[in-house]
Amino acid sequence: MRILAEHHVQLLDPSELMRPEPTFADKNPSKFRDYSVDTTDPLKERVRQTYRQMHLNQTVDFVKGRREHWLKFNTIKMTVREALEKLNDLVDESDPDLDLPNIIHAFQAAERARAEFPEHDWLHLTALIHDLGKIMAFYGEPQWAVVGDTFAVGCRWGDSIVYREESFEGNPDGDNPAYNTELGIYQPNCGVDNLLMSWGHDEYMYNVLKHNKTKLPHVACNIIRFHSFYPWHNGGDYKHLEAPQDAETKKWVLIFNRYDLYTKSEVVPDIEALWPYYQTLIDKYLPGVLEF
């Protein structure tokens, strides 16, 4: 375990480290290990304990409380560049073999998106800022409420959620008949936009974008909001809550996740050389000082 300076925040984002789904198996096996329980493996055990705390504590009431706290947008005011540079102090241990700050991963993902879709400048910026919500970790939010796979609260937990069988034990929503049925608090085919999501950096950044009146298209905001919603976009859960328009969101989330998961390498982009281009996108879609 690295010992980081006091101003650093150390995160292990299991969404980016361990993907057990077969669809990822042929991508880069060293990055996507299984979720089997092995208490002698410190990394696996830390991931398991992160999900245990998440699944025990992420209730409807908890999520509403975090939304009440964070969605006042009175934590800090920063430009996009300042927020990205703050991520230099966040070493995300999503790959234990690399020691790269989040800002490096942000530019790697953005450049991959730019190479594949040069005409979609909104996608380049989306990839650059997709993890900005992790700044919550600097302001007291526990790791299990910042990173990891997300899921809908207020209805039965999806079958493909990692550690689904045992890690929700003790979560009171599981015993609440208002929340433990297939539909729970929702209507059939209500659309994923209308789900109350577990609290994390995805949901926070989505709301930061909307609050600051971003000019990014709605699908870009949804990429950020749902990129960790693996039980839906990869596990096949929550289909009964999907609306027709969700197919477009899912398509772009799956495209984006290729950049998010498979761009990590020791090749560090020349950030200073890239800033002018990305600053033009920031000025176009998300200018000025933002309220976080």
For the ranges 148-157, 225-234, 259-268, 276-285, which has the lowest average pLDDT? 259-268
Q: Is 130 annotated to bind ligand?
A: yes
- Tell me the Cα Rg of the chain: 18
Q: Is 141 annotated to bind ligand?
A: no
Q: Is 175 annotated to bind ligand?
A: no
- What is the pTM for the complete model shown? 0.88
Q: In this structure, what token pair is assigned to residue 196?
A: 């109350």
Q: In this structure, what token pair is assigned to residue 280?
A: 């033009």
Q: Is 92 annotated to bind ligand?
A: yes
Q: Is 227 annotated to bind ligand?
A: yes
Q: In this structure, what token pair is assigned to residue 256?
A: 């984006």
Q: How far apart are CA 44 and CA 96, in angstroms?
A: 12
Q: Is 131 annotated to bind ligand?
A: yes
Q: Is 86 annotated to bind ligand?
A: no
Q: Is 33 annotated to bind ligand?
A: yes
Q: Is 201 annotated to bind ligand?
A: yes
- Note the pLDDT tens digit of each residue in 167-217: 999 999 999 999 999 999 999 999 999 999 999 999 999 999 999 999 999
- Note the pLDDT tens digit of each residue in 103-139: 888 999 999 999 999 999 999 999 999 999 999 999 9
Q: Is 93 annotated to bind ligand?
A: yes
Biggest CA-to-CA distance, the chain: 56
**Higher-pLDDT residue of 242, 264:** 242
Q: Do 191 and 241 touch, CB atoms closer than 8 A?
A: yes
DSSP state letters, 179-220: TSSSSTTS-TT--GGG-EEPPSHHHHHHHHHHHTT--S-HHH
Q: Do 197 and 230 touch, CB atoms closer than 8 A?
A: no
Q: What is the pLDDT of residue 263?
A: 57
Q: Is 260 annotated to bind ligand?
A: yes
Q: Do 233 and 246 touch, CB atoms closer than 8 A?
A: no
Q: What is the pLDDT of residue 10?
A: 66
